Amino acid sequence: MTTTPAMRLGVCYFPEHWPEAGWADDARRMVETGLTRVRIGEFGWSRIEPEAGRFDWGWLDRAIETLHAAGLGIILCTPTATPPKWLVDAMPDMLALDRNGRPRRFGSRRHYCFSHAGFRAEAVRITRALAQRYGQHPGIVGWQTDNEYGCHDTVESFSPAAAAAFRDWCRARYGSIAALNAAWGNVFWSMEYPGFDAIDLPNQTVTEANPAHWLAFKRFSSDQVAAFNRAQVDVLRAGSPGRDITHNAMGFFTDYDHHTLAADLDVLGWDSYPLGFLEMFRFSEADKQRYAHQGHPDLAAFHHDLYRGCARGQRWSVLEQQPGPVNWARHNPAPLPGMVRLWTLEAFAHGAELVSYFRWRQFPHAQEQMHAGLLRPDSAPAPALAEVRAAADDLARLPGGAPVKQAALVFAYDAEWVTGIQPHGQGRSALWAAFACYSALRRLGLNIDIVSPTASLDGYALVVVPCLPIVPDALVRALADSPAQIIVGPRTGSRTADFAIPETLPPGPLASLMGLTVTLSESWHDRMVLDGDGWTAGGWFDHVEGAALPELTARDGRVACWRHGRVRTLAVWPQGSVLDAVITASARDAGLPAAALPEGTRLRRRGDRLFRFDYLNAQVAIEPA
Ligand code: GAL
Q: Is the CB of 253 under 6 A from ligand 1?
A: no
Q: Is the CB of 147 under 6 A from ligand 1?
A: yes
Element (H, E) at 404: none
- DSSP H helices, 135-208, are 160-174, 177-184
Q: Is the CB of 326 under 6 A from ligand 1?
A: yes
Per-residue model confidence (pLDDT) at position 402: 86
Between CA 389 and CA 73 the distance in angstroms is 18
- Centroid of ligand 1 to alpha carbon of 264 (angstroms): 23
Fold of 8-155+221-396: TIM Barrel (3.20.20)
Domain boundaries, the chain: 8-155+221-396, 160-214, 407-602
Q: Is the CB of 156 under 6 A from ligand 1?
A: no
Q: Which atom of ligand 1 is nearest to the CA of 367?
A: 10
Q: Whose CA is nearest to atom 2 of ligand 1?
A: 148
- Centroid of ligand 1 to alpha carbon of 93 (angstroms): 26
- Centroid of ligand 1 to alpha carbon of 456 (angstroms): 34
State the catalytic residue, choosing from 42, 320, 353, 416. Answer: 320
Q: Is the CB of 371 under 6 A from ligand 1?
A: yes
State the catalytic residue, choosing from 49, 148, 279, 346. Answer: 148
3-state secondary structure of 215: helix
**Mutation choice for ligand 1 from 17, 275, 328, CB with most ligand atoms inside 8 A:** 328
Q: Is the CB of 264 under 6 A from ligand 1?
A: no
Q: Is the CB of 298 under 6 A from ligand 1?
A: no
Q: Which residues share a beta bridge with 265?
A: none
Tell me the longest C-alpha to C-alpha distance in the chain.
75
> Is 51 labeled as catalytic in the residue annotation?
no
Per-residue model confidence (pLDDT) at position 1: 40
Report which residue type is found at 392: A
> Is 122 labeled as catalytic in the residue annotation?
no
Q: Is the CB of 273 under 6 A from ligand 1?
A: yes
CA angle 543, 544, 548 (to 5 degrees): 145
Q: Which residue, among 467, 460, 475, 405, has the nearest Cα to 434 in the 3D structure?
A: 467
**Mutation choice for ligand 1 from 16, 151, 330, CB with most ligand atoms inside 8 A:** 151
- Centroid of ligand 1 to alpha carbon of 328 (angstroms): 9
Q: Chunk the chain into consecutive blocks of 10 residues (it has 625) and report each block's average pLDDT, rounded to whole numbers.
A: 77 98 98 98 98 98 98 99 98 98 98 98 98 98 98 98 98 98 98 98 98 98 98 98 98 98 98 98 97 98 98 98 98 98 98 98 97 98 98 95 93 98 97 98 98 98 98 98 98 98 98 98 96 98 98 98 98 98 98 96 96 98 93
3-state secondary structure of 211: helix
Judge contact between 514 and 567, C-beta under 8 A.
yes
Element (H, E) at 567: strand 567-570
Q: Whose CA is nearest to atom 10 of ligand 1?
A: 368
3-state secondary structure 409-427: EECCHHHHHHHHHCCCCCC
CATH 3.40.640.10 correct for 407-602: no
**Mutation choice for ligand 1 from 368, 369, 370, 374, CB with most ligand atoms inside 8 A:** 368
pTM more than 0.95 = yes
Q: Is the CB of 277 under 6 A from ligand 1?
A: no
Per-residue model confidence (pLDDT) at position 3: 57
Across 331-363, b (16+ Cβ under 10 Å) vs e yields: ebbbbbebbbbbbbbbbbbbbbbbbbbbbbbbb
CA 308 to chain centroid, in Å, comes to 10
